[in-house]
Amino acid sequence: MKRLVNPSVTREVVDRFSFHFKKQLGQNFLIDANILNKIVEAAELSEADGALEIGPGIGTLTQALAEQAGVVVAVEKDDRLIPILSETLSDCANVTIRHADVLDTDLHALFEEKFSGRRVSVVANLPYYVTTPIVMKLLEEGLPLRSIVVMVQKEVAERMAASPGGKDYGALTIAVQYYTEPQIVCKVPKTAFMPQPNVESIVIRLKLRESPAVSVQDEELFFKVVKASFAQRRKTILNNLQHGFSLPSGKEAMLEILQRADIDPTRRGETLSLDEYARLADEFALKR
């Protein structure tokens, strides 16, 4: 089987199919064998595992996944890439190519159809313009996932792995860390791609937790409190929550909730830990 990690081979395939990159689809093909190997190693796949790849491009990473996992499903939105993938993956009997937009795909049905109870990891070089919607879909749908190993924009990875108190810490941080344990795998230079993107990249591994990081009475309310707390980062937690929630007694009721949760109303949202947000959400639940 011919690997496609050599830049000249990638260019040859792209030229032979007269493929033109679409900027609006965030198409940047990985051409660095070292980075590819680090992605596959981070996924820790075995013959007993399944791998879901989102946006396989011309199949560079897909081929490597096929050598490690028992079953690989590659979901590609761009119909122009389907005939290319059919050729480059023709020797990979354990790979299924699915022409679809992953955001519109019934992933539970796909998992049941293709993975048959296997442990599944998502491994992908994600289109950067839809990174957050894709990651949140994967996390919120309760899929039987083991891990998510993805290439994302540097700033997004830093937000996912951030600690309370920093500029990178926000609603995305809390959502990702509620469901997973994030670990930065490696930084990726622009030269690892064809064409080269305008941003720096990072490979991050999100290990799914067996249960959420914190226990809350109402998960939907928990995330509503988090979202409201970051509505305007320069404002205090009190001010943001007052704008995000309408309580009968107004400010007085909000101050009581914060006091019962043992949170100083002058703090800002980015200083609160997951545990503090859980306490705060549970106090809101008691007011219902």
Annotated binding site for S-adenosyl-L-methionine: 28, 30, 55, 76, 101, 125
Closest C-alpha among 61, 62, 101, 59 to residue 84: 59
List residues forming the annotated binding site: 28, 30, 55, 76, 101, 125
C-alpha dihedral, 167 to 168 to 169 to 173, nearest 10°: 170
